[in-house]
Amino acid sequence: MMQQYRQSPIVVIGIPVEEGAGTPGAAMGPRMLRTAGLLTALRDLGCAVEDWGDLALPSALPEPPAGLANAHNFPAIAGWSRLIARETHAVLASGRLPLVIGGDHALSMGSVSGVARHCAETGRPLFVLWLDAHADFNTPATSPSGNMHGMSAAMLTREPGLEAVMGDEPHGAVDPRNLTLFGIRSIDRAERDLLRARGIEVFDMRLVDEFGVAVLIRRVIERVAAAGGHLHVSLDVDFLDPALAPGVGTTVPGGATWREAHLIMELLHDSGLVGSLDVVELNPFLDERGKSALLLVDLVASLFGREVYARGP
């Protein structure tokens, strides 16, 4: 399957956004991932890689809609989202694969919206695998914090209250039935009610412990393959156990192990279905000698074909 990725050049887009999070520092994430060797790791695999650098937030930002409350830094998040959506759509339209590095998880409002637009235009169903400790399914009406990185998945599935994020910017959405939340271990009460009402697939750590990551990831892969779908992967650092990856402002104990995380990436690579990727929430200020960034680079390399021992010709 490695040859498939070589035929689709990868475009790396840095998003230094931290306005969606409650702790500053995620804006430094893109630079740290590059410093940790992301581009070199991909090129060593034979991937064609273009680095488009970091996007910059426009000076003119959207106005928040009247009556909107409990959505902190809405103008900045809306501005970022519209810009990112244009970029990811352009990358896919040119036959390349967007690798969006951040930056807090609010950036996925833009990246996945652009991917969804492309999928709608090409008639290919979009599936999203959300690797995260949190569900990110709050809305301004339910969020305990008002931090918009916790509303990304809800916005992408068109939950009420977040329509103004994209405004008139062309974009697509995610069918709630095609969203899988994986590795979840922290859900707010109102989020839980919404997830059940919408029929979102949630593989929490209880299920991971009971069945193992291979069984559950293969379920996702089989669904996407059967539908001929495009798979977008959104990888949050806090998906990993904080002992392995402390460089994130939202750590939750009991996350994925090194071996579980690499196995997921290897199985996704073998599937040949991943057409776009986010790597989010790296906060170098909270990291320990770059260990989180280095692990993320290794995981991305596994997703694009790095193997300990090649098993085929």
Task: Say whether pLDDT at 185 is over 50.
Answer: yes
Task: Say whether pLDDT at 6 is over 50.
Answer: no
Q: What is the pTM of this model?
A: 0.96
Mean pLDDT of the chain: 95
Write the CA distances from 53 to 11, 78, 84, integer angstroms. Answer: 10, 20, 13
pLDDT band, residue 308 (cuts 50/70/90):
low
| Mean pLDDT confidence for 223-236 | 98
- Which residue has better confidence, 117 or 311? 117
* Whole-number pLDDT of residue 1: 36
User: 130, 111 in Cβ contact below 8 A?
Assistant: no
Q: Which residues pair with 233 in a beta bridge?
A: 129, 277
Question: In 137-281, which ranges are E strands?
Answer: 179-184, 201-204, 230-236, 274-280
Where does residue 89 fall: left (phi above 0), alpha (psi -120 to 50 degrees), or beta otherwise?
Answer: alpha
Question: In the chain, which ranges are E strands?
Answer: 10-15, 49-54, 97-102, 126-131, 179-184, 201-204, 230-236, 274-280
Angle between helices 213-227 and 258-271 (to 10 degrees): 20
The Cα 107–Cα 33 span in angstroms is 16
| Mean pLDDT confidence for 189-215 | 97
The Cα 84–Cα 112 span in angstroms is 9
Residue type at position 69: A
Active-site residue list: 105, 132, 134, 136, 149, 236, 238, 281
Task: Say whether pLDDT at 294 is over 80.
Answer: yes
The Cα 75–Cα 53 span in angstroms is 23
* Whole-number pLDDT of residue 310: 61
Report the percentage of the chain scoring pLDDT > 90: 94
* Whole-number pLDDT of residue 83: 98
| Mean pLDDT confidence for 221-239 | 98
Q: How many residues does the chain have?
A: 313
* Whole-number pLDDT of residue 307: 83
Question: In 169-261, which ranges are E strands?
Answer: 179-184, 201-204, 230-236
